[in-house]
Amino acid sequence: MKKKDHENGKYVKKETLLIVAFVALLIGFLGGVVFGVYKSSNGDSVQKSAMPQPAGQDQKVSAERAAQIFELEKKTAETPDDVKAWIDLGNLYFDSGNHEKAITAYKKALELNPNNADVMNDLAVMYRRSGQPKKAIEAFDRAIKIDPGHETVRFNKGVVLMHDLNDLEGTVQTWEELVKLNPQATSPTGEPIKKLVENLKKSMKQ
């Protein structure tokens, strides 16, 4: 199922991988697979959401981003009902690693339009990055209610349940639901979700 784009929020085109990987619980039976939680994208699947930023652009993008943030902060102050501006600002804060400001911007956007699953996913990711995994799960659950077919949300929820909350049963349940939606679903690193579920179940019996 194709995921909805950010509502008028195509300001940030690249899909950003958060550098929060986990392996400790899976070493030995998943071959040291490394995962992170992912920003929503315009793609159709979890796999497509994992495209990295092109190398050699950080400095240029950072310089441009500072000016873009300034303009959007000014715009949201002048027109606080502009959903697109809040989403764009949240995306820029997201990609800049400014978690708290991204949370504020996304919450403003969701106050104006609470039915955007992509923004809800990105809010959840920012909660996780700011050390609030339970709030992240709550936001992922709200995103799933908005768009039950959003694969990235379900994958991300499983990651947080496993890595941050040590809830393997919850991870299995979440990823089994993802496999029901798309039996061919894979992680951003290419592992079939179905296989990950099978290996998790085996580890829980040991």
Task: List the one residue out of 59, 130, 58 whose CA is nearest residue 94.
Answer: 130
Report how far residue 138's alpha carbon sits from residue 115's, in angstroms, rounded to the nearest whole number: 15
Task: List the one residue out of 145, 82, 84, 56 whose CA is nearest residue 124.
Answer: 145
pLDDT (tens digit, 9 = 90+) per residue, 15-64?
Answer: 333 322 333 334 334 444 446 666 775 444 554 443 333 334 444 457 88
Identify the pLDDT of residue 51: 32
Enter the pTM of the model: 0.76
Q: Is the pLDDT of residue 111 over 60?
A: yes
pLDDT (tens digit, 9 = 90+) per residue, 129-177?
Answer: 999 999 999 999 999 999 999 999 999 999 999 999 999 999 999 999 9
- Which domains are assigned to the chain? 47-205 (1.25.40.10)
What mean pLDDT value characterizes the chain? 80
Identify the pLDDT of residue 154: 97
How far are the Cα atoms of 55, 91, 109, 203 from residue 8, in angstroms, in the given order? 27, 12, 11, 43
